[in-house]
């Protein structure tokens, strides 16, 4: 029987990735379609993609597939051919990363989930069949010039903070399930406006556009392929990018630079910076923005307290971490910042 999971340690996998000589291409793709047996598709995908040395993270559910992966450049065509051989995925758009060092993933993980995007929707009448109209980069730029247009960012606060479209409205939450009803409430008196939803690669804004349509909005659009596809199209067509700053991505890169604008600030000193890191203290791992000066001052930690713990002997650090649930450790100025107490 074929092994459908990894048997090598994370440290060894990272070492092997760094030793690879061939450059990898990072791509993302998604598609909403009915899957009768997600587990069987998961198994089939794993065997085929593992053979092509694909690394990454893929979610499969009854509602579709969501993937962020990297593949050796020499296997890109074979990967594309394989994906297109699956009837529902034939000619699926593959978003190629804009700013890519090829080190985004080091292992292949394919998981069956209830949904490919956790949306909190329980209304049995909701359907993805009726959704907003796609707009490409040219159409996006044209609509942005229209005073009747409202642009809604359907990403989290920490994504919006480092980069967004110039006219974009932030929905102040760090979970997509909270943002959906919030967006409806925020726009309840603007049903006559052109409403464009956008996100990183298209998967969240496509569902968001369907949710808005479900609640009686008619002039709804979503940015086809999200920021990733917009940046590629804008570059190819010589368009001015109306997205400024960095596009946050959920892999080891943590960000793709779209323009040279740095619109965020270091969470420690307030100086200009848009570099996201996870606190080096393994008992914290808070995701936050840190400039180079503060990285040196705090040894890549989010506070003096964490810096002191990070510099303790490993066994002592492990003892302090016992029983701590880090939860979703994200810096958000709109919420009380909580960190586990490690000095008890």
Backbone angles phi, psi at 163, to 5 degrees: -175, 140
**CATH of segment(s) 133-237:** 3.40.250.10
Residue 266 annotated among the catalytic residues of the structure: no
pTM of the shown model: 0.80
Cβ atoms of residues 80 and 73 within 8 Å: no
Question: Domain segments of the chain: what residues?
Answer: 10-112, 133-237, 264-344
C-alpha angle with apex 311: 310 to 314, nearest 5 degrees? Answer: 75
Name the nearest CA neighbour of 250 among 130, 113, 140, 117.
Answer: 117
pLDDT band at 16 (very low <50, low <70, confident <90, very high): low
Q: Would you say domain 10-112 falls under CATH 3.30.70.100? A: yes
How large a percentage of the chain has pLDDT more than 90? 73
**DSSP strand pairing (95-96 vs 24-32):** antiparallel
How far the first Cα of the chain sits from its last, in Å, is 49
pLDDT value of residue 302: 93
Cβ atoms of residues 96 and 247 within 8 Å: no
pLDDT band at 1 (very low <50, low <70, confident <90, very high): very low
The H or E element containing residue 207 is helix 203-214
**331 vs 37, higher pLDDT:** 37
pLDDT tens digits, residue range 94-119? 998 876 676 778 889 999 999 999 99
Determine how many CB atoms are found less than 10 A away from the CB of residue 325. Answer: 5
Beta bridge partners of 29: 67
Torsion sign, CA atoms 298, 302, 305, 308? negative
**How distant, in Å, are the alpha carbons of 275, 297, 326 from that of 289?**
5, 14, 18
**Distance in angstroms (rounded) separating the CA atoms of residues 80 and 67:** 13
């Amino acid at each position: 029987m074929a092994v459908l999971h990894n048997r090598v340690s994370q440290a060894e996998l990272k070492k092997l990735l760094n030793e690879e000589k061939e450059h990898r291409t990072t791509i993302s793709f998604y598609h909403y379609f009915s899957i009768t047996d997600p587990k069987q598709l998961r198994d089939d995908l794993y065997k085929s993609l593992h053979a092509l040395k694909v690394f990454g993270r893929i979610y499969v559910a009854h509602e579709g597939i969501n993937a962020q992966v990297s593949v050796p450049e020499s296997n890109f065509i074979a990967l594309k051919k394989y994906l297109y051989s699956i009837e529902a995925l034939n000619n699926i758009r593959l978003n190629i990363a804009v700013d890519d060092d090829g080190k985004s993933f080091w292992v292949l993980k394919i998981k069956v989930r209830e949904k490919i995007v956790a949306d909190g929707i329980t209304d049995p009448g909701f359907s993805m069949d009726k959704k907003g109209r796609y707009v490409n980069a040219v159409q996006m730029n044209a609509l942005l010039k229209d005073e009747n247009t409202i642009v809604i960012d359907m990403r989290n606060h920490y994504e919006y903070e480092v980069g967004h479209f110039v006219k974009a409205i932030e929905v102040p939450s760090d979970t997509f399930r909270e943002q959906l009803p919030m967006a409806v409430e925020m726009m309840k008196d603007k049903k006559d406006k052109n409403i464009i939803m956008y996100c990183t690669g298209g998967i969240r804004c496509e569902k968001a556009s369907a949710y808005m349509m479900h609640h009686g909005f008619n002039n709804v659009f979503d940015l086809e392929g999200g920021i990733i596809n917009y940046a590629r199209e804008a570059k190819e067509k010589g368009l001015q990018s109306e997205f400024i700053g960095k596009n946050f991505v959920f892999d080891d890169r943590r960000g793709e630079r779209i323009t040279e604008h740095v619109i965020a600030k270091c969470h420690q000193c307030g100086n200009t910076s848009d570099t996201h890191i996870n606190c080096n203290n393994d008992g914290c791992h808070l995701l936050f923005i840190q400039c180079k000066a503060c990285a040196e001052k705090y040894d890549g930690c989010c506070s003096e307290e964490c810096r002191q713990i990070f510099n303790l002997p490993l066994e002592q650090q492990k003892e302090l971490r016992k029983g701590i649930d880090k939860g979703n450790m994200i810096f958000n100025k709109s919420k009380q910042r909580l960190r586990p107490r490690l000095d008890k």
